[in-house]
Structure 1
Amino acid sequence: MSATHVGIVLNPSKTSRSELEEELAPAIAEHPEMQVSWFETTVEDPGRGMAKDALEAGVDLVIAAGGDGTVRAVAEYLAEVESSADLGIIPMGTGNLLARNLEIPLNDAAKAMETALNCEARSIDLGWADITRSDGSEKLAFTVMAGVGIDAHMIIETAEGLKDKVGWLAYIESLGRALSASEVINMDLKVDGGKASRERAHTLIVGNCGMLQGGVTLLPDADPADGTLDMLVLRADGVSGWLQTLRTMLWDNGIKRLFGRKRKAESSGAVTNRQFTSATLRLGKPRVLELDGDEVGECKRVNFSVQPAAVSVRSPQA
């Protein structure tokens, strides 16, 4: 679907406008009738205000040129106002998680631009985290994953180079360090209006997409367009618990799925996988929440929900 007016929301900390303009020039030249407008993010505003300005300028395609934070901010605003404009992505961060899950070209801005201009759009869901803090509340979106717990940080932020080289082995190294570093979190969890259950876990991760860097699939059943979110709870206790965790995640939900028919992700005493549309998490004491790899501060309570078909993204998968 051709666009008549494209708005590029650029994170200038990733590259300069002049450098990106030069790289995108051949792709843009193939659409001589198309108008292109530029909107640069700031430290204070990673993209919401720029997406708003782009829509007010009349664009029908908003392209987020930056990392996961830029993509999340732009997608959040488009979903919030239920815009009919499509979202394009030029991935320029370290994780580029949504782009990876949607097979948008990485490390090549020109090819990513060609995808945004020439591919059809597919509708994807968006996750929302309604956060309660000690000093107030805030509602933020996430395109890929949200997490609470020390291990959530380790899983999302494990060394990028190591992930790309050895895949899951990087997470084994990370989880190994977690044996001594992790702290059990007391939490109450209520899923899809059911009865609240008490959990003692190291990590809770909620995802709209399942794949991390290095081709690693953390949430095997996650589908960004199925109208649900996926949840992973890790509650390993001691060496035997972590060995069970690794067996469940690497063998049962990894290798076995590669050579067998697709089935629902398995759970164990140390690992729980489930799907839901809404969940309320209450924490025994405030914990840092991560959205798409970015820390968004400590929270006491989080209401997770899904907005089906919230954003239309230009993607090869369409």
Structure 2
Amino acid sequence: MSRPLIHERRLNSRAAIALGFVLVFACTSCADLSAVAKFAATAKNASTGFSDIANDFAGSAERRALYVSDEEKPVVEKQAETYKALQPEMLAAQKVLVDYIAALAAISTDSATSRDASVKATEDGLKKIGMSSAQAAAGVGLATKVVDALTAGYRSNKAGKVIRDCNPLLQDYLKGLEQIVGTDYPLVLNNERISAEGYYQGLLHRYGEKEPLAAVTIRVQMQQDLDGIKKREQAATAYMKILTDIGEGHQKLADSEHMNPKQLGKLVEPYVEDIAKQSVAVAKAY
């Protein structure tokens, strides 16, 4: 069984994550914050596509259970239940990143932000979904710094300090999320594909020559199922790119303390644009 892992909801992610970068750009460079505030208002209720991926760990196992033999079915169904049981930890893992981006928005605009204290990442929970000890510790540390930054009354001129202070933790934590999205989830989808191909090839072997019309229907259904798997694999690749963009963009922001607004804008713009582009691919898959 592949390492237990993760999934999450739609893709205004382009708004939420691009928000983080645009906001940070503005507050770090002392640019006019009114445009940032307007952007933040439109992205206020944005969520990320990670929840879709997290939820589809169990979804993939449930679909796979339809393809396997009666002997193998209980094992696959148990995997699906295991993934379902891990969903709270998975969603808590995603929330660390979302809270951090929301905190940057609040700090840069001198506004308030609310956090759902009922959803909380723990080291044990993060390790349970497959993160290393160091990655899990970085996630909890990042969540703690978010609380400290907000309660300490950071304002726009201090956002640069938040970025520099949080950057090492964020980089380590992103590696944990990348493992889940870029390695564990594709393994789950690959298992689903192997089972689907075996199931439909078995039907074609049994009915292909005897019932030509049935064979046509089988091939159409097989292609639809395999296309669905491919689309979700593409979504994982796109979300991996989003995570990479976040890490690289944040690193450049942390290193660019003395850049002027125009230079910093050019530096961040490609990451914002690519995040928006990749978000479309994630949204289409679920």
Same fold (TM over 0.5): no
TM-score w.r.t. structure 2 length? 0.25
Q: Which has the higher contact order (CA 8 A, sep 6+)?
A: 2
Higher helix share: 2
Is the radius of gyration larger for structure 1 or structure 2? Answer: 2
Higher strand share: 1
